Amino acid sequence: MAELIYENESYMRLTSLLGFIAGILTTVSFVPQVLHAWRSKRCDDLSWGMLLTFSSGVVLWLVYGVRLWAMPVIVANAVTLALLLAIMALKARYTAR
């Protein structure tokens, strides 16, 4: 019985590690876009439809993660949402010019 509990704990640690790695990779993929938009002062190639639809999906994933108390899902989607909000703020700022 003790071995089963240890195997389950080890399995859950590996599952959480995989979740955090996946979250880091998908979240970090937005950093170059934010930096590019900031440096070029242009976001006209990003549609509001895509940004709003994707952000809605990220918010739903965040709520899902909170309901399950799944830290990899919560952290990855909270950071992704912050990056998306930064991109949308830059788009609004640079479109107004």
What tens-digit pLDDT sequence spans the chain (97 residues)? 556 555 678 888 888 889 889 889 988 888 888 888 889 988 888 899 999 999 999 999 999 999 999 999 999 999 999 999 999 999 999 887 6
Task: Give the CATH number for residue 51.
Answer: 1.20.1280.290
Given a contact cutoff of 8 angstroms between Cβ atoms, the answer to whether 37 and 87 are in contact is: yes
Q: Which of 87, 63, 83 is nearest to 73 (CA)?
A: 63
Q: What is this structure's pTM? A: 0.79
| Domain extent for 64 | 2-95
Given a contact cutoff of 8 angstroms between Cβ atoms, the answer to whether 91 and 51 are in contact is: yes
User: What pLDDT was estimated at residue 23?
Assistant: 87
User: What pLDDT was estimated at residue 2?
Assistant: 54
Please return the burial class of 38, using the count of CB atoms within 10 Å of its CB with bins 0-12, 13-18 and 19+.
middle
Those residues whose C-beta lies under 8 Å from the C-beta of residue 54, and which sit 6 or more positions away, are 84
Which pairs with CB-CB distance under 8 Å and at least 24 residues apart come from 7-16? 16/71, 16/72
Q: Could you give the number of structural domains in the chain?
A: 1
